[in-house]
Amino acid sequence: MLVVMQAHATEEQVRAVCRKIESLGYRAHPMPGAQRTAVCVTGNRGEVEAGTLEEMAGVQELIRVSKPYKLVSRDFKEENTVITFPGTDAAIGGPGLAIIAGPCAIESREQAFAAAERVSRAGAQFFRGGAYKPRTSPYSFQGLGEQGLQIMAELRDKFGMKIVTEAIDNESLELVEQYADVVQIGARNMQNFSLLKRAGRCRKPVMVKRGMSATLEEFLMAAEYVMSEGNYNVILCERGVRTFADHTRNTLDLSVVPAVQRLSHLPIVVDPSHGTGKRNKVTPLSRAAIAVGADGLLVEVHPEPDQALSDGMQSLYPDQFDELMTQVRQIAPVVGRTVAATSTRETAAVVSS
């Protein structure tokens, strides 16, 4: 249920409504909007016992929510969610596109720094790299663990990029949340409900990747799990789904972008690297993702893709990423978006070191 407050309701009236909801044994999620505040009620098994809520000062109306998701929905919050990072101009969901780039896995300090230097120079404000890798084979490279996180923390200081990295279980999440700026929940864990709830209790924004065969509703419900625990900074990521097609690793479902945007206020970025699995398809689908209205891209870039310990086939050479960014810069204004300028910060750092 949604408790819609009157436009002029005071903060004290909103707090009183939240206290009332909690006294009934439910959880209250107040969400201020441009027009009015709505308070979402969760934790109810059946219909919410509205009690005297409707009569309370400042309450405009009670709306029953028939959809299985509530907090992710535009019914709860009409305006787009914009995730900001204090002290920087990086954002996800605003007019500026969020470009997240870097290798699949952190393999060494040299490899990570070489990748960061190039993607930062090309204008990426977010660096991605896995320290914990969910691999299909137990014999494949599993990631450097905390050492990988430490390397990324160093990168953040040197290049000023925000770090996006995956947590694969509750244990790794403990560490990832200390080092990362955005915690990634991978496709294989999109329905790991205990991990999603744990992510909902962490203080960092969470990026949820779409499960390999998840429907739109299942995708949104995964985000709902995170939000239901009180973390409202959630980013969705389309990364392709399994189909009969075998010319790509997955089928990138770009139609999910406008479908999500219609139902949800959450930002959605597109990952054409895992979405296609083929280097030569990453740039064309990046162009398409921006054109379709995605809030950003997640792209794998490796200084030496042929030597990569994971996902080399889909990793761009740094020069290819430069070209991708040039193209994205041309398309962005057509759909009313901007892209951060190319950076000279690392050049300055190199010169002064």
Type of residue at 239 = R
Site string for Mn ion, 277-316 (x = CB under 5 A): ----------------------------------x-----
Instruction: Tell me which residues in 255-284 interact with ligand PEP (CB under 6 A).
Output: 274
> Among candidates 28, 41, 35, which has minimal Cα distance to 8?
35
> Among candidates 254, 223, 252, 226, which has minimal Cα distance to 239?
252
Q: d(Cα 175, Cα 350) in Å, to the nearest integer? A: 30
Contact stretch for Mn ion (CB under 5 A) within 43-51, 101-109, 149-157, 288-296 = 101-109
Cβ proximity to Mn ion: between 117 and 311 the closer is 311
Element (H, E) at 254: none
Counting residues that bind Mn ion (by CB under 5 A) gives: 2
Q: How near is the Cβ of 311 to ligand PEP at its closest, in Å? A: 7
- The residue from 94, 96, 186, 305 that contacts ligand PEP (CB under 6 A) is 186
Which of ligand PEP, Mn ion, none has residue 209 at its interface (CB below 5 to 8 Å by kind)?
Answer: ligand PEP
Cβ proximity to Mn ion: between 274 and 329 the closer is 274
How many of the other CB atoms lie within 10 Å of CB of 254? 20
- Of all residues in this chain, which one has the CB nearest to ligand PEP in the complex? 186
Q: d(Cα 176, Cα 185) in Å, to the nearest integer? A: 11
Q: How near is the Cβ of 274 to ligand PEP at its closest, in Å? A: 4
Contact stretch for ligand PEP (CB under 6 A) within 74-82, 91-99, 181-189, 327-335 = 181-189
- The residue from 53, 187, 195, 196 that contacts ligand PEP (CB under 6 A) is 187
Q: d(Cα 161, Cα 120) in Å, to the nearest integer? A: 7
Instruction: Tell me which residues in 160-179 interact with ligand PEP (CB under 6 A).
Output: none
Q: d(Cα 322, Cα 331) in Å, to the nearest integer? A: 15
Sheet of strand 37-42, all strands in order from the earlier edge strand to the far edge: 27-32, 37-42, 2-5, 59-63
**Residue 249 sits in the site that holds ligand PEP (CB under 6 A):** no
The single-letter DSSP state of residue 44 is -
Q: Where are the beta strands (DSSP E) in the chain?
A: 2-5, 27-32, 37-42, 59-63, 83-84, 91-92, 98-102, 126-128, 162-166, 182-185, 206-209, 234-238, 268-270, 296-300
How many of the other CB atoms lie within 10 Å of CB of 23? 9
Q: d(Cα 116, Cα 148) in Å, to the nearest integer? A: 13
- The residue from 5, 97, 104, 106 that contacts Mn ion (CB under 5 A) is 104
Note whether 115 and 302 are within 8 A (CB). yes
Q: Coil, helix or strand for 20?
A: helix
Cβ proximity to ligand PEP: between 35 and 140 the closer is 140
Site string for ligand PEP, 103-142 (x = CB under 6 A): -x-------------------------x---x--------
**Residue 302 sits in the site that holds ligand PEP (CB under 6 A):** no
Contact stretch for Mn ion (CB under 5 A) within 34-42, 70-78, 100-108, 214-222 = 100-108
Q: How near is the Cβ of 84 to ligand PEP at its closest, in Å? A: 23
Q: How near is the Cβ of 4 to ligand PEP at its closest, in Å? A: 37
DSSP string for residues in 198-232: HHHTSSS-EEEEPPTT--HHHHHHHHHHHHHTT--
- Of all residues in this chain, which one has the CB nearest to Mn ion in the complex? 104
Cβ proximity to ligand PEP: between 94 and 272 the closer is 272
- The residue from 239, 265, 279, 337 that contacts ligand PEP (CB under 6 A) is 239
Counting residues that bind ligand PEP (by CB under 6 A) gives: 9
Q: Which residues bind ligand PEP (CB under 6 A)?
A: 104, 130, 134, 186-188, 209, 239, 274
Q: Which residues bind Mn ion (CB under 5 A)?
A: 104, 311
